[in-house]
Amino acid sequence: MNAGIMTEAKWEKNVRKVTPYVAGEQPKTEGVIKLNTNECPYPPAPGVSAVMKELDCEKLRLYPDMNAEKLVSALAQYYGVKPEQIFVGVGSDDVLAMSFMTFFNGDKPILFPDITYSFYDVWAEVFRIPWKVCPLDEEFRIKKEDYLKPNGGIIIPNPNAPTGVPENTEVLEEIVAANPDSVVIIDEAYVDFGCKSMLPLISKYDNLMVVQTFSKSRAMAGIRIGYAIANEKLIGYLKDVKFSFNSYTMNMPSIEAGTAAVRDDAYFKEIVGKIIKTREWTKQQLASLGFRFTDSKSNFLFVTHESVPAAEIFKALKEHNIYVRYWNKPRISNHLRITIGTDEQMSRLVKFLTNYLKERDND
Ligand SMILES: *Cc1c(COP(=O)(O)O)cnc(C)c1O
């Protein structure tokens, strides 16, 4: 990437050259309303801050538990599965990257939607996995037939990102059932915000894996915890690859903090409920301002305006210290992805947009 065209050194021909994933901006300035990376606007569960305060630094001398048993058993208990059915990693990005390496090891292309999490093609490229995108329909829904063709694996987020569109679990089940020769990964990063999980089906299909994260609904993007749930055999293969790569991915404070978060279900349900309520309120407000959007079941909205280009709104918002996400990419270059913040943050967003659109009309 940063190699000058004129000065390619001889060793550079042996370099694995990739175009990295571009994450949303993390502004250093104060006073920004940050609605650009789908973080939770509320703090983690109170038990998490207690754990962090009481952290015994003397213990950092030792390597952490490489099986993260405490966290794994808390998750196993929560989801009603065996600990052997759970794999934890450093954010679901780590879990997904390991999964690509483990399960997508064939010659046929892996399949995923054309509009989706923009890390999938990056992992496919870095691991040299052939891949093919399947175009979503006009309503940003997947077309089932696309996934009934020969493939080396399938990954579909539900709800999808950045569209927020939930997929019918019966349709997803048909895809899993029709592909016994492939591992099908359902990326459920946003499933807690009102979408149906595929978890109940993991005992029925040995090729199905569900991946979730603490980054969005558990308000812990900074701690980096993600996990996969599937049958023991599939999880076993994933562990073999992980232990061939880096045994100690989960650090001790993360294991402790993650466990505390899982144990406080009441708090989890409370913040998720608040975000859903704010999301529905924001939908009403934006509709009255001439925005159209998918019926998002995530912690963000994917919006387009009836007359004002998304790029212009994005710029105006940013100048006003309100950060949202915009991609100048085919099919979505007139859309914005807006993370659901607190009621107050969303009111300020709506207020700004109301004035902005009014003034624009007067010009
Ligand atoms: C945020 C996100 C992830 C990864 O999040 P982590 O912070 O690495 O757990 C994975 N998939 C999708 C679709 C996401 O939006």
pLDDT, one tens digit per residue, over 312-340 is 999 999 999 999 999 999 999 999 999 99
**Does residue 117 have its Cβ closer than 6 Å to ligand 1?**
yes
Mutual angle of helices 265-288 and 343-362, in 10-degree steps: 10
For ligand 1, atom 11, the nearest C-alpha belongs to 189
Q: Which atom of ligand 1 is nearest to the CA of 214?
A: 9
Question: Which of 36, 155, 213 best tests ligand 1's pocket when mutated (most atoms within 8 Å of CB)?
Answer: 213
Nearest residue (by CA) to ligand 1, atom 2, is 189
The pick from 87, 88, 93, 118 for probing ligand 1's pocket by mutation, whose C-beta has the most ligand atoms within 8 angstroms, reads 93
Centroid of ligand 1 to alpha carbon of 244 (angstroms): 23
Cα of 191 vs centre of ligand 1, distance in Å, is 11
Q: Is the distance from the beta carbon of residue 217 to the nearest atom of ligand 1 less than 6 Å? A: no
* Pocket of ligand 1 contains residue 188 by CB under 6 Å: no
Rounded to 5 degrees, φ, ψ at 20 are -70, 160
What end-to-end distance do the CA atoms of the chain give, in Å?
A: 43
From the CA of 90, give the closest atom in ligand 1. 8
CA 248–ligand 1 middle distance (angstroms): 21
Ligand 1 centroid to residue 282 C-alpha, Å: 23
Low-confidence ranges of the chain (pLDDT < 70): 1-6
**The predicted structure's pLDDT at residue 4:** 54
Q: What is the pLDDT of residue 231?
A: 98
pLDDT value at residue 1: 52
- DSSP 3-state of 100: helix
Q: Is 310 in the pocket of ligand 1 (CB under 6 A)?
A: no
Q: Please indicate whether residue 189, judged by its CB atom, sits closer than 6 Å to ligand 1.
A: yes
The DSSP secondary structure of 228-291, one letter per residue, reads EE--HHHHHHHHHHHTTT-S--S-HHHHHHHHHHHH-HHHHHHHHHHHHHHHHHHHHHHHHTTE
Q: Which of 206, 225, 181 is nearest to 70 (CA)?
A: 225
| Residue 211 Cβ < 6 Å to ligand 1 | no
**Nearest atom in ligand 1 to 215's CA:** 7
For 347, other C-beta atoms within 10 Å of its C-beta total: 15
Residue 2's pLDDT is 56
Pairing mode, if any, of strands 131-134 and 110-113? Answer: parallel
Q: Judge if the beta carbon of residue 215 lies within 6 A of ligand 1.
A: yes
Running DSSP on this structure, what letter comes out for residue 63? P
Please state, in angstroms and rounded to a whole number, the distance separating the CA atoms of residues 359 and 357: 6
The answer, yes or no, to whether any atom of ligand 1 lies below 6 A from the CB of 39, is no
Report pLDDT for 333: 97
- Does 93 contact ligand 1 (Cβ within 6 A)? yes
- Residue 11 is encoded by which pair of tokens? 């060793």
